[in-house]
Each structure stands twice: as structure tokens, then as C-alpha cells.
Structure 1
Amino acid sequence: MKKGKVFLVGAGPGDIRLITVKGLEAIKQAEVILYDRLANPKLLEFAPADCELIYCGKLPNRHILRQGNINELLVEKALEGKRVVRLKGGDPGVFGRVGEEAASLAEYQIPFEIVPGISSGIAAPLYAGIPVTHREYAESFAVVTAHDKSKEGKPVLDWEGLARGVDTIAFYMGVGNLPFICENLITYGKPSSTPVILIQWGTFGRQKTLQGTLADISEKVIEAKFSNPSIILVGDVIALREKISWFEKMPLHGRQILLARTSDAPSELAKELIDQGADVIEFPKWKRTSLPVDLAKVTAFEKILFTSPESVDEFFTAVMENGIDIRTICADFFGASVKSIKALNNRGFIAAHADELSEPSALLIVGDDSILKKEFDSADIMVTSKKELDYQFLPLFKRMLDEADVNTMVFPSSASVEPFLIALSEGDLDAAELLKGLQIVSMGKQTEAAVVKAGLSTIGTPANATKEALVEYLAACYPVEEV
């Protein structure tokens, strides 16, 4: 059997928009992905639907898979002829043990590529408003491991060289050893007044910072119960933060949003919320399988109602594959949502909303297998695809919830409420417990009615059912600090 190929990919520091183009291409073509805890799980949604996902995440003093097992898995999957991605947080060459993994692959003569990523030690400070070098403050920069393989885990370093010879130092995952770090830097020549900042979950919307000096930061960390994953930055360049801090000033920074999802396609609403500084967890994750359709009578219908943007694409793909001239279809087109209408508009068709369907005679409803005729009992149904819950993402969703501190729930449509609650039950998650204490926002009055009917409370609706209005509503009316 032909050997596969392995891509050792840096996922970047957390914000999924910071992954490299090459790294994203590798994910999109992967047959197997072995991913770490600090690689943003949202990146896995770019993988093919049949891609095998293997969690290799590590927590302090607890390993899901030890490094030797990971090396063996990479070799095993590649020898099966698979295209494998090893997805690692930050840059794989910066404390990512990529050298060990590459050596194992080379031993078996398995082809591989190493795809660099943006390192957390540079990105997290920048998202906190701190460049690690500056002509007036810092002409040198070092990245340093804050623990090693010794029994006590205390790093054996050239402390004098660091203290006297490096202007800015980034310590990785060193909260537990912070007193030891500060003591050694002071002992070997760093002034006790040297600024220190801890950046937790850097580049995520949940990013938090804690600032102090070598003399007092350890005590502050205990008081604030600050923990990993954090970058510890030491140096005078931290003073620039007051002038150029930008990320934490974004309108939705601190918002950790659970967004009900009805489509398997990328969400424009989720993108807008992320662009405005929020963390967004979308649920549930759907997968869609196209089905063969019978187009024998398609030219006989006077009206065609598309229930989703996906149904538009599936319908016209089937029309082309069956060699039907679109000009022979003379029906008026309708969309069940703004997105559906937009999908038709993008194909050059003027479409009306389903609410304008006054005479449902000779009506065809096109969509996935969840179609319900409802008030159109006489309509014909064309099922173009099967949509089902992607069970592979349920444990991943639970891990995302464990890592986050969700404070907001958004239902974008009335159709999103019931599938969301059903999917939670499929994952053995209690909706009442999960949503307890969250600000539940409904996009529109119909959505609000569906939320209330489901027995959930809601804080209200934006002025309009648009992503821009939602951002304004969350930022201005209900800031996170009031949660």
C-alpha cells in the first residue's frame, strides 16, 4: 500500500483567523486529524465530513495521549495510506515537540511537511497591546519554557543571561512556577520593579490579563486565581499597553456566546460576532448528504419554495446534472428565509419571501429531509439532502464548554430552537442546566415566541433581526459586566 503523508501544522494561538493559508488547506484535505487542547476546535469544522478526529489534548499532570502514543499513531495512520494532519496550538517548532514527531516519521520514511504557525508568545502580547520589541524599550526578545522534564518541573536556565541580556522574555505555561521565575530573575539582576503581565487565553474573546511587577505578580496571581493557559511576559515594553491596547476594547470582547445552528454551512452571524471580539461556540454541528432527486415534473410547477440556501444549491446542481435547461422552469421562486432568497438572488433570480405565497396551487417545496408541509398540505415535496447531527463533534462540544465560561445564548431563528434542544438531549446535556444564568437573546419576535414556548426565558430581541443590530444590542444594552 502506498504511504500517506503527514502535515505537522501550527494552528496559531487561538483566533481561527490567524491560521496560515497552507495550514487551513491541509485541514480541508485531511483524512485524519490529531489535534491538541490549545488548537481552537472550530478549525476542525473545515475538515471533510468523513475526516477522523483524534484528541491528543494535554492538561497539567494529565495526558490524554502521551507523546510516544502520538508518534505511533502518526506512523500508523500514514502507513494506512492516509493524509494526516497533526494540529498543534501556536507554532509547532516552539515547545510543540515537532522535532520528536518528525523524527518518528523520518524513521519510517514517511513523507511529511512542517507548516509554521503564529506563536502564542508573540500573538498574545500583541492582542494585549504589547509588541515584544520596540526601539525605545526592547531590542531583544526570548521565548522560554517555564517547566522542564525534571522531577520538580523547575526550568534549568541561564538565569543571569536572561536577567541581564534579554529585554523582553515570554515564558510559556509557567503559572505554577511563577514565584520561582520571579525570584531567579531578581536574584540574577532584573529590578524587582520590572513590569510583568500574564495573558490568559490570548487572542480568544475570553482573553484576560493580569499586570504587576516581579515583586508582586505572584501574590496577585494567587488572589485572582489566575491559571494556565497563560503567557507570562516580562519587560519594560509592557508600558506601551496603556497606549495601544486594542483587542480588549472591541465591542463584544468578553462575550462568550453559544449560537444555535441550523445549517452545515459557515455562519455569517458567527463571523460577525467573532469580528467584534466575541468567542462563539456553534451548536449543533450538522452534516449533510445529497440525495438523488426526481426532476421529471419540475417544469410543471407554478411556484417553487426553497427552505434553505443549501436546498437552492442542491436543486440547481441536480438540474444541471440532469441536463435540464433552466429556461424551461417557469415557476415563481420563493425563499423560506432571507438567506434562501439571497442564495436565489446570487444565481440571478428574483425571489419573494414564503409569507407572500397566497395561492399554493402547483407548489413544489425543496429542501432536506426535515421538510414539513405545515399549511401547504397540497404541495409536492422534493427532498434534496439528508441533514443529521454530526455525533463526532458532541464530545468536542462538551470540551469547548468546559474550557469556556459562556454568558450569552443566541437563537437566530424560530427554526433553530427545537433542533438545538433535541441535539442537547442527544448529547446527554440538560438544557435547563446549561442555559441557567445565561442571557438568552432571540433574533425577532417569532424566534422569541418559539423560545418562550420551549420553556426558556429571554432577555429580548434586537431592534432588527440583523447581525449588525445584534452586535449593537449586546454591546450597548447588556454589557458583560452586568451579567
Structure 2
Amino acid sequence: MSTVYLVGAGPGDPGLITVRARDLIERADVLVYDYLANKEFLAWAPDGCEKIYVGKKGGDHTLSQEGINELLVDKALEEEGRVIVRLKGGDPYVFGRGAEEAEELVESGVAFEVVPGVTSAVAGPTYAGIPITHRSFASSVTFVTGHEDPTKDESAHNWKALATSGSTLVFFMGVKNLPNIAASLMEHGMDPQTPAALVHWGTTCRQRSFVSSLDSIAEEAVALGYKAPSLIVVGEVCALKDELDWFEMKPLLGATVAVTRAREQASGLVEKLRELGACTLEFPTIAIQPLEDTSQAEAEIARVFEYQWLVFTSVNGVKQFFNVLDKMDLDARVLAQAKVAAIGPATAQALRCRGVRPDFVPEKYVAEHVVEGMKKLGVKGRRILIPRARVAREVLPEQLSEAGAEVTILPMYDTVLSGNDPEEMTGPLERGEVDYITFTSSSTVENFFTLVDPELLKKHRDGVRLAAIGPVTAETLASFGFTADLQPEDYTIPGLVDALLAAYSA
């Protein structure tokens, strides 16, 4: 029998999803997800997984709740032995209507499990610096749905009990009804000066929040443009926000940074940007493709003892070189007779991770500085092997040859145009959702403009800043008619991040 898993996706921060939830997504045959489930989770699903969006946003329902219930049953009965994941924002049973879905599954004889998730009622206020309980202010907390029709004859809530309980009150889905919620609490005895807060898109890079008083919060929410999804928190604990706020102190919070480097390389940059609070738009323009035929690489490695220098120009070159070594049942000991150069700290670190300490790392991480440094070490008459991409800048081998070295280029991989849908970038550009686009090589620039019309970027240029990792990449941008707004002095990923920090803080 197929099993339906009702899975809590947590409040939005990918780091707050449970290990069990991720495991199930990675095994899913069918993934049914809603509006509040982080889209990043979809990338964890295996190839061939059927992904079905059933989100509900501000009254706009892709599918009714009854329709969702029927869909889950139908998918479970279509075929035996499948994993059907129903991914729900927050926790399935905390105002998530997960119980209704479970009841439908029971009635239809479908096996199911429930995977709890971190509820936004706890996580959202926490990320906004508001503890929902505190020994000095509140010893209890009440979760309340704010999604009531204010025109109906009688509320389902006991407003007097809520107003006089002394509990912290957390209202879900209540922004539209905020004036009615505040008025009802005050009418039933709550002090109008009670601190109250709104937390919008809590735990995500889009989070913002503010604290007001109960009698003013509705008016301020309108003035500040707060909309769903936002939590309402009412209680003395809200007064602690200024003291305990931490997440909204992140220096890149609210900035959207597009990352164009290959997905295999992007993780470090994306992770650092997210740690600093940025929204990241992953739009890899290149893909790394190992060579199917490694016979040339194997032949050169078999006589690597004939070379005095090996020059690695990228992490990919290191990775593919050692993949071939492994295929040949060899290891780093074959490099014992040669000296090794690495362009850039990331390449050097990739070598160290494989037991090889580079003999030379240039101060500036471009080919010209490699040649200058190696000349001082003596390359005339030396045999040099450069494992690299099949197509790359020829400056390094040409200048080393001019310096008297005998240079052999060893193709290890291809950089090819990614299979990305251009809409993944053009859509956000058109909607004004991109603040920075980062380019980490000339090939990322060239492939970006193969996927995205340069005229579209020019149309939105006033709102988008372009960051190039170094002068060569900046020159390639210039060839398309664009000037790099940011360029670090240190041509590295950490240098690029520092340049973004400086620009955004300014």
C-alpha cells in the first residue's frame, strides 16, 4: 500500500525543517505542497517526483480543501508502494487542517503518518526577538486563529477569557481582521497600551516586524504596508523585542542576491549569503560536465613524473583530476616529484583536502599574477601540466610558454550552458525582486546573457547592481555593455561577499 505522509515544513527557514521531513522529501514519488512551504525543499525531491502545488493565498485557492483531500486519496490509490508527501507550512495540526486530511485518509483506508513541524507561532516571534513566555511577563501562551468573518453573528472565541487571561496571544492569519481583533480584546478588558507586534514572513529573508500598542497596531500595520502572511503577537513579552532582537540585525536581511555560478560550486556562496540574512536566487548559468573519455587524462597522469609543475586553476580541475586518479587506483603520491601551484585559496584548500600542500599560491588570483610569480620561481625549460576546463582563457599557458616553459593543457571537464528556465531570472527581474547579480567568471557572464536578453537587464538596470569577482569578469560584462558596480580587491568568494556587505550597508 502507498503511504501518505502529512509533513510539517516548518516556518520557512530551511534550517528548521526536521531530519525526518527531509528524508521523506528525498524519497517522495509525489510531493503535494502549499504556499507557505519553502520552494527550496522542492529541489530535494528525486528526479521523476510528481510535484503538485495546492497553495492557498489570501483567499485565492489553487484547490479547495475538499479537492486536496480527494487528491491525496487518489494519488495513494493510483499505484502501490509509493511515498506521497503532503508538505504543509509550519505544523500539520496547528491551524494547518492536517487533521481533516488525516480523517479523509482514514475513511478511505489509506495508510498515513504525521511528521510534526516547527510552528511559526513559536519560531516567528523568536526570530523577531519576542519570547512567547517569560517568567516575569507570561506563564502561558494561547494560539488563536485570526481568520474569522467579522460580519458573522457570533465569534467562536471567548474574547473575555482571551483579554483577561494574562497569556501571550498569538493570532494566525489575522492581518485582515486586525482592527476587529484589537477592538474585541479592548472591549473585553485588555489594556489599550498592551504591547502588540506583527511578524511578517517570520524566519525568512523577507522577515520584518514591529511593536506597537494594542490601540495603535492596526493603524500602523496599514501605514507600514503589512500583509499576509503575518503573525500577531499580543502581550507584555513584545516589549522585549528591542533587547532580544537578533535575526533582523543580520546585515544583508532583505537583499536579494542572484548567484550565477555552477550549482556544484554555489553552495559555499549561497550559505554565506544566507547566514548574513540575504535572500538568494540560484540561477546557475553553467554546468560542470566531466569528460566521458578520460584516456588522455589517464595517459598524462601515467607519466606525471615527467612534469616539474602542475598548475590547478579551479576547484573543478582538482576534483576531476583526483576523480581520474581514483579511477586509475592511484592517489596523491603520484605528485611526489612535481611542484604544485593553485590559483586562489579555494583551489588551494581543495588540494589540501586531498593531502597536497601547494608550493605556490599567487597574491592575486588571475593568470597574469600566476605567471609573474612562477617566473620568479623559475619556469624556463620546465615542463608544466595544467589540468583545467576544455575551453578556458589561454593567457596562462601562452605567457608561461613565452617565459620558456613547455606547457601541456590537460582537459578534465567541460563547462556547458545550464538547462535553467530563463523565466527563473526574467520573472524576478520584471517584478523588481533582484537587488544584486553576482558573476564569478567570464563564462557565467556569457551564459547569463545567452539565457537572459541583455536589453531586459538594461530596462531594469536602475534597481539591479552587478558584482564581478575580478577584472577579467568585469571586462566580460563590459563587452555586453554593462559596468560592474562592485568588484572586490581580493578576487575571491569571501572578497565578493565583503563587497556586497559594504555596498548594502551603505
For normalisation by structure 1, the TM-score amounts to 0.83
Report if the CA contact (8 A) 1:14-1:40 is conserved.
yes
**Residue 389 of structure 1: aligned partner:** 418
SS of equivalent to 2:349: helix
Distance in 1 of aligned mates of 2:416 and 2:45? 17
Report if the CA contact (8 A) 1:299-1:331 is conserved.
no
Distance in 2 of aligned mates of 1:10 and 1:382? 46
Distance in 2 of aligned mates of 1:195 and 1:262? 47
Distance in 1 of aligned mates of 2:103 and 2:285? 36
Change (3 A) 1:324 1:463: closer
Distance in 2 of aligned mates of 1:220 and 1:150? 20
Report if the CA contact (8 A) 1:154-1:177 is conserved.
no
> CA shift at 1:402, angstroms?
8.6
| Worse-matched range after superposition: 271-280 or 52-61 | 52-61
SS of equivalent to 1:199: strand
> CA shift at 1:68, angstroms?
3.5
**Residue 375 of structure 2: aligned partner:** none
**Residue 355 of structure 2: aligned partner:** 348
Q: Is residue 316 of structure 1 aligned with residue 322 of structure 2?
A: yes
**Residue 448 of structure 1: aligned partner:** 474
Report if the CA contact (8 A) 1:128-1:245 is conserved.
yes
Deviations 1:374-399 (A, max 9, x none): 456996664557855354x7666677
Distance in 2 of aligned mates of 1:84 and 1:313? 36
Amino acid at match of 1:450: T
RMSD between superposed Cα atoms in Å: 3.7
Report if the CA contact (8 A) 2:211-2:239 is conserved.
no
| Worse-matched range after superposition: 256-265 or 231-240 | 256-265
Alignment of 1:158-169 (within 5 A): 158-169=158-169
Report if the CA contact (8 A) 2:286-2:444 is conserved.
no
Aligned length in residues: 473
SS of equivalent to 2:183: helix
Amino acid at match of 1:35: Y
Q: Is residue 222 of structure 1 aligned with residue 222 of structure 2?
A: yes
SS of equivalent to 1:451: helix
> CA shift at 1:233, angstroms?
0.9
Distance in 2 of aligned mates of 1:112 and 1:287? 39
Report if the CA contact (8 A) 2:288-2:413 is conserved.
no
SS of equivalent to 1:240: helix
**Residue 421 of structure 1: aligned partner:** 449
Change (3 A) 1:374 1:227: same
Q: Is residue 201 of structure 1 aligned with residue 201 of structure 2?
A: yes
Of 440, 455, 467, which aligns to 1:412? 440
Amino acid at match of 1:90: G
For normalisation by structure 2, the TM-score amounts to 0.79
**Residue 66 of structure 1: aligned partner:** 64
Change (3 A) 1:64 1:286: farther
Report if the CA contact (8 A) 1:196-1:233 is conserved.
yes
Alignment of 1:431-446 (within 5 A): 431-446=457-472
Deviations 1:96-122 (A, max 9, x none): 222233334444544443222211111
Amino acid at match of 1:125: P
Distance in 2 of aligned mates of 1:464 and 1:153? 66
Amino acid at match of 1:190: M
| Worse-matched range after superposition: 287-296 or 93-102 | 287-296
> CA shift at 1:230, angstroms?
0.7
Alignment of 1:464-483 (within 5 A): 464-479=490-505
**Residue 302 of structure 2: aligned partner:** 299
Larger radius of gyration: 2
Distance in 2 of aligned mates of 1:77 and 1:396? 29
> CA shift at 1:234, angstroms?
1.0
Alignment of 1:50-129 (within 5 A): 50-78=48-76, 79-80=78-79, 81-129=81-129
**Residue 259 of structure 1: aligned partner:** 259
Report if the CA contact (8 A) 2:121-2:170 is conserved.
yes
Distance in 2 of aligned mates of 1:22 and 1:201? 24
Distance in 2 of aligned mates of 1:106 and 1:398? 44
> CA shift at 1:178, angstroms?
0.9
> CA shift at 1:324, angstroms?
5.3
Report if the CA contact (8 A) 2:206-2:279 is conserved.
yes
> CA shift at 1:18, angstroms?
1.7
Change (3 A) 1:241 1:36: same
Distance in 2 of aligned mates of 1:326 and 1:282? 34
